Each structure stands twice: as structure tokens, then as C-alpha cells.
Amino acid sequence: MNRKQSRHRISTLDSIVWTENTMLVALLFATASVAAPVTATARVYSIFEIQYTTEPDGRSPLEGQVVDCLGGVVTHKFAGGKPKLTLQDPNHPSAWGAIQVKDGLAGAPLFHEVSIGDWVTLSNVYVEEFRGNTTLQCLPDNNPTLTIVSRDNPLPEPLVVMPDQIASPVEDSLGDWYVATHKAEKYEHMRLKVVKVTVGAMNLGKAADNYVLQSVPDSNEPPASCWATDYMNADTTDDYHPSVSAGQRFCRVEGILEQYTNTREGWDYYQLVTTGTRDLSVSQTADLDDDCDVDFLDFGLFAEGWLADCTAEAGTCGRADLDEDRSVRIDDLAQLAEHWLDGRFIKHRGDHDGPPDKLE
């Protein structure tokens, strides 16, 4: 064999070895890709992102999907037929900030695990629209989990709204009841408060347990109304809380906003759902003139009693002795300041209807 032949043979062998090595490396990469696939991380959504919608009927853009949720503070628990929680994210106090969670697992372990005030997150929950409400369903097939992030969180303050921001439904010629618009959708499951209202008609709605809350007309505000119900009220054994009766005036009514939609039976309305006696107040602390708010008229009456003798014999301090220590001093003034403008409707800032990526 001459040198040329020898070099050719070595070159051929090198080519064979290189080819085999290349195939081996390729095979190893292929095997590795099969044995260890790249797993995509599921996106976690805020309540705002799940709830926010531009659909006229209020449907979530994530309807029908299984998602993870950053969650919020548990504001209420209700056993009912299928146990449900209400979560609210205090980072979105003016709109699209709350959602309902239903525990469909046997024995409702997720429901029983949490307490009001817990901040919880959720994974593998199904986004469903049920009777008009966007709901996170915990279903066995999806292996849902709930994590308690922290406990004993303060509940988000109820958002003060006018009754017409919830808006009563209107009866049509067929006897069906429908809201004119779904502008209240952004408040779904949020804690709300209406002030200076009187109970009107009762025995309304699908379960005949709704009642009208009619605003007490001011000189510069037209009357407005919304529907309320006590079916989730822990202090109610009948259709209505004992304090609810036609003509009853409340300085404030608080609750969680729900929707009930069943167009086959002629219903589509929102209802403010009270949860306890504390949600129904017939008086307002520091309201000295009995008009359900605390303003300069009350301050004037308070000033009349300032430093007055509050003994039974003198009786000159009126109702300005707020802490009932028989004197009108700085502690009483502190109470007046604490409740200043309570009961007055003040339009809240940031009634935001924009998409999540536009929110400040």
C-alpha cells in the first residue's frame, strides 16, 4: 500500500468514525428530548383578569378554561346545596375585583379548610358562567388545589354605590323581569354598600325572597332603587331578616352582589345579598340630626354640647356625649371625626372599566 492509498484509507476511516459519532450524538439528543420534555408553565390569572369583560352579557373571556388564580381574601362562606366561597382582591377595590368559588369535591374539603379573612390562591379550577355569575369550579377531574397564603386579613371595605348603579329589573308585558343593562357586572361578588334607603315592595324574584331598596330622595338626586335578598344572611331563619319590613328605613345596607339569570323562566337581575345583622343598620353613629349621615349639621349640634354638663339633672349636652361618659370632650370629638361624612354618597375614584393591561 503506497502513501496515497494509506492517506485515503485513513480519511475514509475518519469519515466513518465522524459519521458514527454524529449519529450517536444526534441519537443522544433525540433520546434526551423524549425522556425530558420541556414543560410550559401555566399562566396564573388575577381575579380582575378572569372577570373583566366587554361582552354585553358579562361572560368571562376565559369561560370554559382550566386556570390558576392568584385569588384574594375570603369574604364569605355559604354551605347551601354546593358550598361556595366569595373571594375579593383588595388591589382592585372599584371594579372586577371579586369572584365566586364552588367546591364540587366530595365532602367539600376546600370549603371547610378555609376561614373568612384567609387569602387563598387556586390552581386547576374551571371557569364557568352559571346563572349569570362567573364562577371558579373545583371539579374532581381537574385535580384542583387551594393554598392558604395568609390568615386574619382585614376584609376589603364595602364600596359605596347608589342603588341605580345596581339597578332594579323592570317588569315587561309578559310578566318577566329583566335589567335594562348589565352595567353592574363589574361589581359582581364585590362587597357593596348603599346608604339612606327604604324597603319597598317585597316577595319578588325567582324565590320570592327579594325586596326593593329605594333611595331616600335628596333635593338634587332623583330616587333610585335596587333589589336585595337575605338568603345568605347567617342571622335569618325565614325569607327575610327580622329587621326587614315594608317601609323600614336603613341608614346603610351592605352585602355581596350576585346576579340571577334564567331567561327561560323570565329572570335576569342583580341582587345585594346581606350576610348578617351587621349588614343592616337603622342608625348611624354620630348622626345627631337623624338623617343617616354625619356632616356639618351634626357638627353644629355637637358644638352646642361642647364642654356641657351631661348629668341627668342638667341634661344640656343633647346627644353629643358619644362615648356616654357624661361629658363632651376630645374623645367625643374623635368619634365624630372617625365617622365624618359616613352615610354620604361620595363618588369613588377609579371606576375603571378598562382592560387589565391599562389598569394603573
- Residue spans of the domains in the chain: they are 44-150, 159-281, 286-347
Three-class secondary structure of residue 246 per DSSP: coil
Tell the CATH superfamily of the 159-281 domain. Nucleic acid-binding proteins (2.40.50.140)
Sequence-ordered strand ranges (E) for 95-248: 98-103, 119-130, 133-138, 145-150, 159-160, 170-171, 177-178, 191-199, 210-215, 225-229
Q: What is the pLDDT of residue 305?
A: 85
Per CATH, the number for 44-150 is 2.40.50.140
Q: What is the value of pTM for the model shown?
A: 0.77
Contact predicate 292/194, CB 8 Å? no
CA 282 to each of CA 197, 241, 332: distance values in angstroms, whole numbers, following the listed order: 10, 13, 21
Q: What is the pLDDT of residue 150?
A: 97
* 286-347 CATH, one of 1.20.58.100, 1.10.3720.10, 1.10.1330.10, 3.30.230.70: 1.10.1330.10
Taken in order 104, 110, 116, 118, is the CA torsion positive or negative?
negative
Q: What is the pLDDT of residue 20?
A: 47
Q: What is the pLDDT of residue 143?
A: 95
- Ranges of residues in the chain with a pLDDT under 70 are 1-42, 217-221, 312-316, 345-360
Q: What is the pLDDT of residue 123?
A: 96
pLDDT tens column, 257-278: 999 999 999 999 999 999 999 9
Q: What is the pLDDT of residue 320?
A: 87
Q: What is the pLDDT of residue 220?
A: 66
Q: What is the pLDDT of residue 223?
A: 80
Q: What is the pLDDT of residue 116?
A: 97
Q: Do domains 159-281 and 286-347 have the same CATH topology?
A: no
Residue 315: half-sphere exposure toward Cβ, Cα within 13 Å: 2
In the structure grid, which three cell numbers stand for residue 15, read together? 469519515
